[in-house]
Amino acid sequence: MKDFLFNFKRYKGLRYYSLFLTLVNSIYLFIEIYKFQYIEIYSLNGQIQKEHYQYISNLSNMTNALAIFMVLIYLVYLVVFLVQKNKINVINYFLVHFIFCIVFTCVSFLISFIFAIPIGNLIQQLVILYGAAIIALLYNILNMLYKRAITRFKN
């Protein structure tokens, strides 16, 4: 744990990654909260007028763009860490990523409870990040096992 904190303080890439994802996810959550409050205010007997529907559609497009942006941030930093071939940085990257996802999942559940917003809307971008991280982690583990098997087979 001490090494992880040291690497986090020393390596700017992990700090920037955390900062970017925190910023983008916070904006995402703010827009989702605003969208559901807007729907509550302007829905008349369960119906939404055309101009309000268009505005809500634009908010949804913005949240979709932010979710895609978060995946792109994840993939760019993943490639950067994998290209460096430093196992410690890759492990720290996955730790930071999973800590980020777990913290924002908890924050999303709290927001869902406070504002009565469906939890699926708040964590859909995190599910994509969880899935991408699990796939990348499995790839790294299989790649590492493959390299060990090749090394043992050659000896």
**Arithmetic mean of pLDDT over the chain:** 84
Average pLDDT of span 78-101: 79
Exposed / middle / buried, residue 74 (Cβ in 10 Å: 0-12, 13-18, 19+): buried
Q: Would you state the structure tokens that stand for residue 149, as one six-digit string?
A: 């098997």
Q: Tell me the DSSP string of 1-65.
A: -HHHHHHHHH-HHHHHHHHHHHHHHHHHHHHHHHHHHHHHHH-BTTB--HHHHHHHHHHHHHHHH
> Which of 24-33, 36-45, 76-85, 138-147 has the highest average model confidence (pLDDT)?
24-33
CA 101 to mean position of chain CA atoms: 6
Whether 82 shows a pLDDT value over 90: the answer reads: no
126: helix, strand or coil: helix
Phi, psi for 116 (deg, rounded to 5): 55, 50
Range in 70-74, 83-87, 90-94 with the lowest mean pLDDT: 83-87
Q: Tell me the DSSP string of 72-88.
A: HHHHHHHHHHHHHT-HH
